[in-house]
Amino acid sequence: MTNIIPPRKRQQKDEEKRFYVTAKRSVKLQLEQEAFDRGTDVWTLGGLVIEAWLKAGCPDFGFSGQPPVSENPPPSSSPSQLADDQGGAE
């Protein structure tokens, strides 16, 4: 066995791979029901949900304890910046 990191390949097959995640039983049941309602299996639906989340830039969906970015107020301006913006102080 060599201890050399192999170089990156230019072309990779993007084949499907099954992997496992951990969730509460109730979440698993909800996902299974949703997959059934959509006519697919839990593995495919779970993968599509994760893929959509990644493509969206991994948003927090408000779970971080802070409101989503769009609801955060803009940063407050300093008094001197406000005066400059209004043509006051120099």
9 within some domain: no
DSSP string, 13-44: ------------HHHHHHHHHHHHHTTS-HHH
Residue 42 within any structural domain of the chain: yes
Q: Is 35 inside any structural domain?
A: yes
Enclosing domain of residue 35: 22-58
The pLDDT tens digits of the residues spanning 2-16 come to 788 888 888 889 999
Distance CA 35, CA 48 (A): 11
To the nearest whole number, what is the mean pLDDT of the chain?
A: 81
pTM for the complete prediction? Answer: 0.56
> In this structure, how many other beta carbons lie within 10 angstroms of the beta carbon of residue 46?
20
Classify residue 50: in a domain, yes or no.
yes
What's the domain count of the chain?
A: 1
Separation between Cα atoms, residue 31 and residue 49, nearest integer Å: 10
Structural contact between residues 77 and 85, judged by C-beta atoms closer than 8 angstroms: yes
Query: Residue 41 domain-assigned?
Result: yes
Assigned domain for 36 exists: yes
